[in-house]
Amino acid sequence: METVRKSDQTRELLLRAAFDEIHRNGFQAASLSKILADTGLTKGALYHHFPNKTALGYAVVDELVTNEITQRWLAPLENQDNPITALRTLLQEAGESLRPADIMLGCPLNNLAQEMSPIDEGFRKRINHIYNVWRGGIAQALMRGQANGTVRTDIHPGETAVFLVAAMEGCMGMAKNARDPELLFNCGKSLIGYLESLRVTQSGPPNPR
C-alpha cells in the first residue's frame, strides 16, 4: 500500500508540474526536462506513468483542467435556487482572485483550445468535452432557475450558456493579449449586467411560457 501511495504521489507531482509548464509555455514548447527538474524526479519515473509527452498532456487536460473547471464553475452551481446570483458571485470571486500572472498567462483551457485543437484530435475532443460539460452545467442551472421563477422563461438556457462561456473565455483572452487587468474588470462588469438582465424582477409582469 505504501508503494502504491508513493506512486500516486509521484504521478500527481508530474501532473502538476506539467500543468504549470504547459500553462507558461504552451504544450508544444513545454519541456519534459523542465518538468523533471521542477519535481526532482527521473525520466524513469516519468515514463513509468506516461509513455510519452502527449499522454502526459492528455492526462493534464482530463484530470487537472477538468477539475479546475468543475470546482471553480460547476460545483458551486449545483442545487442553487438562484443561478443568477450564484453566477454573479462566481464571476466576482474569479475576478478578485486573479493575479497579474494569471492574466498574463491566460486561461489554461482556452490556451490549449487555441493551440492544440487544429493539430491534435485527441486534445480537440478532450477540450470540446470540457466545454460541453461547462455549458451544460450552466444551462441546467438556468433551467432550474426558470422552474423556480428566478430566471426569465423567454430565454434559451443552452444558447445563453454558450454565450456566457464564450464571453468569459473571450474576456480572458483579450486581457491576456493586452496584459490589462482593467480590460478584464470592465468586461466582467458587462457580463454581470447581462446576467442581471436574465433575472425575474419582482415588479415585472409574469414571463410567458
pLDDT of residue 205: 43
Confidence of residue 198 (pLDDT cuts 50, 70, 90): very high
Is there a contact between 91 and 202 (Cβ–Cβ < 8 Å)?
no
Indicate whether 133 pLDDT > 90.
yes
DSSP string covering 76-128? GGTT-S-HHHHHHHHHHHHHHH--HHHHHH--HHHHHHHHHTTT-HHHHHHHH
1-51 and 58-197 have identical folds: no
- φ and ψ of 69, to 5 deg: -65, -45
Q: Which CATH architecture has domain 58-197?
A: Orthogonal Bundle (1.10)
pTM (predicted TM-score): 0.92
**Candidates 1.20.120, 3.40.50, 1.10.10, 1.10.3470; CATH matching 1-51:** 1.10.10
Q: Parse the chain into domains and list their residue ranges.
A: 1-51, 58-197
